[in-house]
Amino acid sequence: MDEFFHRNWSSIRDEANIAWLVLDKTNMSVNTLNAEVLEELHSLLQALQKDPVPLGLVIQSGKRSGFIAGADVQQFKDLETSDAAFNFIRQGQIVFNYLADLPFPTVALIRGFCLGGGLELALACRYRVAIDHYKTKIGLPEVQLGLHPGWGGTVRLPRLIGGLKAMDLILTGKTLSAGEAYKRGVVDAAVPERQGLIAARHFIQKQPQPRVAAFVEKLTNSNFSRSVLSKILQKKMALKVNKVHYPAPYIALEHWREQGVESDSAFMNEAKSLSQLAVSETARNLVRVFHLQEKLKRLEPEVTFKPEHVHVIGAGVMGGDIAAWCALKNLRVTLQDQNEQAIAKALNRAVLLFKKHLKQPYQVKAAMDRLMPDVKGMGIKKADLIIEAIVEKVEAKNALFAMLEQEAKRNAIFATNTSTIPLSELTQSIKTQMRLIGLHFFNPVARMPLVEVIAGEDTEETIVQKGMAFVRAIEKLPLPVKSSPGFLVNRILLPYLLESMLLLEAGIPDEAIDKAAVEFGMPMGPIELADTVGLDVCLYAAKSLSHYFGGALPVGLSKRVEQGQLGKKTGQGFYQYKNGKLVKKKLSDSYRLPEDILDRLTMSMLNAAVACLREQVVSDVDYLDAGMIFGAGFPPFRGGPMHYIAEQGESLLLQRLNLLAQRYGQRFVPDVGWTTLKIS
């Protein structure tokens, strides 16, 4: 038995003369591909070509966390020029081409994530065996970082399963389970873990005919099909992705249309195309967002805390959806509300959520069993964590916490989902204050990754740490925030919403306002967002924030709330809704938006962001940007509000702000924070 040792790979030859290459990157919890890993692989593969040539090669991971997560994103960030990027990409292509040309059978044995460069490595093998495990995720998610595959993915995947099916993966970045990957032909087998090694050996020893694209699949790669299909795909994509903001999928599609998959020049063009994208502003910002996300994930503290039982009080939209999310993430949850109908509706939403996220009916059932309706509040005595999401009234919350202090376990943690009320106002009891944190979720809970974790002045540090650990346990991103009115996200978002309503009162059509915001890159315009959140909720938040920071309330908002027009939930807000769908009005083509509208919207946010930073609502620029991207949908390709300020230039923005202050008064007077603003 031969054994070679490298820093990242180990190589073993077994008694059946099968070579096994195991990637286990030194000092890393996750396998990613960088220049060193690729070099080592290259030399190992070259060594295999010498006598005695193995019967075959199996490549697998030595990490329980997964196969290969993709290229090392850090390495991409360090590539200054497109030439440097091109060289790195070509290096990978050369190694993978070498792997693909090996004269003996090769198998990628995949368990856990196999993404981006990881899948491209697997695609260069003759066979792929995926372990059917809930952690197994297979895909090419490069577009999510503003990139496209560069190590042969745009060529080998369409070759294998046809252009249409391949584009579905490449253009969306979606990932597949082992079973789905098998159905789509991306892997040759999806087997339970206990059969993994047997299956890998089977492919080496029996050498079945490798998968090739079926006739129709192959047809989609022809010149004619590509030109037709790419037009259709582009149209479809345009409905979801703005080409100006996110060019990567469009470029990937164009590359495939132009090059096809037959000639080797396709590889070269892939590398050229990606090397230009890699140094683009969008890609750099999206990579930054990826790092911000990792930064929040790493906030996971030393304490391990996974509550055995979570009790949620208030089965409204937020409470019900928080409870459902916790049950989805394997926690036992009781959902309390005096109103049985509210619980019934929440359970109905929950089962739809479970069906969407959990593929198997037995898993849906198990999630339903974890979520128990609790009209009488039986869960209070047993819960390790109690989250209140009742009506935003200080008196009601005071009474609730007084009751909880009496009834709950002595070591239970209390959390509030209040969106505006500072923690110190929720209870007079110092005992309660010590174990109270804010866990501020965003609507819709299932889609918004951020949870603001708010420490009150008297909250014990370990309780805050446990709150952070809980947020990670339910696979959300925790953002530590100081207990100040509106916390971070609402404090910044609300001035923007209110400004949009003032624009409305000034006679700007709602569609025009929303269109301007969406073109800036917001996921939804402010007027529609207000309607979605609920105008009563907006008004309440506006009132309580104006109590602390001053500022007038838009008359139109109060008026609508008085008339019971609360937005989407009542069918009528600023917009009209039919069956929960917005009734769109067509904006006249001749309408021209006044030039300072977008400034008024964005500067409202940016000015508030600067104030938050000055008050240290969050501890640094990264947290602020992360909070606004993951909690409010601030355009990721712009890298966050503070990053945007830095890119635009502080002095330029300050000028515009002063101009707005002259025109529209007090609310645009620059925060004093601008003078001391330092964004590295």
Partner 1 sequence: MRHKKRMVYIVDGARTPFIKASGKPNALSAADLAVAAAGPLLARQPFKAKDIDEVIVGCVGPAADEANIGRIIALRLGCGHAVCGWTVQRNCASGLQALECAVGDILKGNHDLVLAGGTECMSRAPLLYSTALVEWLTSLRTKNLASKFKAVLKFKPRFLKPVIALEQALSDSIVNLSMGQTAENLAYRFNISREEMDAYALQSHQRTIAAMELKQLEEIVPLFDWQGNVIEFDTGVRRDSTLQKLATLKPVFDKPFGSVTAGNSAQITDGAAFLILASEMAVKRYELPVLGRVVDTTWAALDPAMMGLGPIHAIQKLLSQHHLSVHDIDYWEINEAFAAQVLACLKAVQDEEYVKTHFGVKSVLGDIPLTKLNIDGGAIAVGHPVGASGARLILHLLHVLKRNNARLGVASLCIGGGQGGAMLIEHVSEVL
Q: What's the closest the beta carbon of residue 366 comes to partner 1, in angstroms? A: 8
Q: Tell me the closest approach of the beta carbon of residue 334 to partner 1, in angstroms.
A: 6
- 3-state class of 61 per DSSP? strand
Binds partner 1 (CB under 8 A): choice among 193, 262, 294, 340: 340
**Within its chain, how far is the Cα of 516 from the centroid?**
24
Q: Which residues pair with 308 in a beta bridge?
A: none
Q: Whose Cβ is closer to partner 1: residue 354's or residue 540's? A: 354
CA distance to 169, 260, 270, per residue, from 254 (Å): 15, 10, 11
- Specify the residue for token string 């928080």: 322
Q: Give the other-Cβ count within 10 Å of 471's Cβ.
A: 23
For the bound state, the minimum distance from the C-beta of residue 308 to partner 1, rounded and expressed in Å, comes to 9
- β-partners of residue 451 are 441, 478
Task: Give the containing element (helix H, strand E) for 18.
Answer: strand 18-23
Closer Cβ to partner 1, 334 or 459, answer by number: 334
Decide if 547 is catalytic.
no
Residue of the chain from 382, 515, 569, 614 that contacts partner 1 (CB under 8 A): 382
Q: How many CB atoms lie within 10 A of CB 207?
A: 14
Residue 444 C-beta: closest distance to partner 1, Å? 18
CB of 345 to partner 1, least distance (A): 6
- Applying CB under 8 A, among 72, 217, 374, 388 the residue interacting with partner 1 is 374
- Answer for which of 53, 216, 228, 375 binds partner 1 (CB under 8 A) is 375
Residue 403 in the binding site for partner 1 (CB under 8 A): no
386 vs 535, beta carbon nearer partner 1: 386
> CA-to-CA distance for 188 and 96, rounded, in angstroms?
19
Taking the CB of residue 245, how many other CB atoms lie within 10 A of it? Answer: 16
Please identify, using beta-carbon distances, which residue of 99 and 347 lies nearer to partner 1: 347
Q: Assess 368 for contact with partner 1 (CB under 8 A).
A: yes
Tallying the residues shown for the chain, one arrives at 680
Q: Which region among 111-119, 339-347, 596-604, 629-637 touches partner 1 (by CB under 8 A)?
A: 339-347
Of 589, 600, 612, the C-alpha closest to 488 is: 612
Q: Which is nearer to partner 1, 173 or 314 (CB)?
A: 314
CB 314 within 8 Å of CB 389: yes
DSSP tag of 572: B
- Told to check if 315 binds partner 1 by CB under 8 A, we report no
**332 is an interface residue for partner 1 by CB under 8 A:** yes
Helix (H) or strand (E) holding 437: strand 436-441
Q: Name which of 368 and 679 has its Cβ closer to partner 1.
A: 368
Which ranges of 260-309 does DSSP label H, i.e. alpha helix? Answer: 265-278, 281-297
* Number of residues located near partner 1, criterion CB under 8 A: 24
Instruction: List the beta strands (DSSP E) in 279-350.
Output: 309-313, 332-336
Q: How far is the CB of 354 from partner 1 (least distance, A)?
A: 10
Q: Which of 301, 304, 310 is nearest to 409 (CA)?
A: 310
Stretch that binds partner 1, among 111-119, 375-383, 403-411, 414-422 (CB under 8 A): 375-383
Question: Interface with partner 1 includes 334 (CB under 8 A)?
Answer: yes
Q: Could you tell me which stretch among 191-199, 229-237, 289-297, 342-350 binds partner 1 (CB under 8 A)?
A: 342-350
Question: Shortest approach of partner 1 to residue 404 CB, angstroms?
Answer: 17
Among candidate residues 255, 311, 440, 643, the one labeled active-site is 440
Does the footprint of partner 1 cover residue 319 (CB under 8 A)? no
Rounded alpha-carbon distances, angstroms, from residue 129 to 107, 152, 201: 7, 19, 10
Side-chain-side CA neighbours of 72 within 13 Å: the count stands at 18
Considering the rule CB under 8 A, would residue 367 count as an interface residue with partner 1? no
Let me know: does 164 contact 220? Beta carbons within 8 Å.
Answer: yes
Question: Per the structure block, which two tokens stand in for 539?
Answer: 């008004």
Cβ nearer to partner 1, comparing 310 with 541: 310
Which residues of the chain form contacts with partner 1 (CB under 8 A)? 332, 334, 340-341, 343-345, 347-348, 350-351, 365-366, 368-369, 372-376, 378-379, 381-382
Catalytic annotation, residues: 440
